[in-house]
Structure 1
């Protein structure tokens, strides 16, 4: 009977230790996910700015006098 109690206590301690390690790893994963979400937001903002810049450049090309200024790629 005493051996069973000792075994149970050891198993419980191991489970508590495992749970603590898993919780720590879960927190690490959450930090990575949060960082990725922030990165995604930043990339979306950069993409929008690049789209705006492309639109502005395209609009400016429409006002160029043909033959005087050669637009790259045309």
Structure 2
């Protein structure tokens, strides 16, 4: 059973990388309010050079960040 889980998890990760697009933040639209960062369930958002950035390797494309962004600076890649 453990081997099946490992295989399934590897397949799931591979599938995510191929077909699910991460969200991105438009730096020119981001007002750096920080509303999105605590709402990200996987901690993929951080601050960099006066705006927030999403780590696409961590993003699970749930869309929570886009739904809470007051500046509508977040969209799918």
Q: TM-score, normalised by structure 1?
A: 0.29
- Which has a greater percent of helix? 1
Q: TM-score, normalised by structure 2?
A: 0.28
Larger radius of gyration: 1
Greater RCO (CA < 8 Å, at least 6 residues apart): 2
- Which has a greater percent of strand? 2
